A and B are shown apart, each in its own frame.
Chain A
């Protein structure tokens, strides 16, 4: 079945540091890949997505590239801010059937000033 494995946290960085959160997946067919973010006290929000191999999703300075050869979708940001502190979830959905999201376990990111 489909599954997502992401880097376990918590991750703590200083402001302006470079961020990478690793995400790999197992899926049949060609899923779409997503990063969702959950800020403290708020609901899940879509951060970025990519729907086919080699696509790069980007938003708010974050980027992730759909790598079919390594089945990965790592999240990166060149210079993090305190406001990026949140829990980040990698997810996929299958182009067949219900398109339900399969999530990784989440990575809690804390950015210190």
Chain B
């Protein structure tokens, strides 16, 4: 079956603009994660959704970052008023339950000029 998909694959934006990144998890997977991969910080957890439970937002670096998951499937990560330090690859992963293997998407490379 289809894996985790993310769009766009690349996004270039100007400082101060808002961006939306999309993740389509594997069908039937109840858990969805966002991570960020950057040169300075490595791979960092951002946010976690599990079913209908309240999301774990403990990894979001600032209140400019938010995410939602509609209908228990597709998720959107929104970054408001982007800064140059937001430049990174944003990775989405899903799993059938929180304790199982996480399957990663190809990522969205965000460049803030």
Given the interface pairs A100-B33, A100-B56, A100-B59, the reply to whether A44 lies near B104 with Cβ below 8 Å is yes
List of A residues within 8 angstroms of B93 by Cβ? 44, 101
Interface residues contributed by chain A, number (CB under 8 Å): 22
**A to B contact number (C-beta, < 8 Å):** 50
Determine the interface band of chain B, counting residues with CB < 8 A from chain A: 20 to 34
List of A residues within 8 angstroms of B102 by Cβ? 46, 101
Given the interface pairs A98-B50, A100-B48, A103-B42, the reply to whether A32 lies near B99 with Cβ below 8 Å is yes
Given the interface pairs A32-B99, A43-B91, A97-B56, the reply to whether A89 lies near B43 with Cβ below 8 Å is yes
Instruction: Give A43 to B40 CA distance when docked, in angstroms.
Output: 19
Instruction: Give A93 to B35 CA distance when docked, in angstroms.
Output: 14
Interface string of B85-107 (1 = CB under 8 A from A): 00000010101001101111111
Q: Quick one: closest A residue to B53, CB to CB?
A: A98
Given the interface pairs A32-B99, A98-B98, the reply to whether A44 lies near B91 with Cβ below 8 Å is yes
Whether A99 contacts B106 by the Cβ 8 Å rule is no
Q: Quick one: closest B residue to A103, CB to CB?
A: B43
Whether A106 contacts B99 by the Cβ 8 Å rule is no
Return the contact of B106 from the options A36, A43, A97 (Cβ within 8 A).
Answer: A43
Q: Quick one: closest A residue to B56, CB to CB?
A: A98
Q: What are 27 A-B residue pairs whose CB atoms fall within 8 Å in the complex?
A: A32-B99, A36-B104, A42-B106, A43-B104, A43-B105, A43-B106, A43-B107, A44-B91, A44-B93, A46-B102, A93-B99, A98-B48, A98-B50, A98-B56, A98-B98, A99-B95, A99-B98, A99-B99, A100-B45, A100-B56, A101-B35, A101-B43, A101-B93, A102-B45, A103-B42, A103-B43, A103-B44
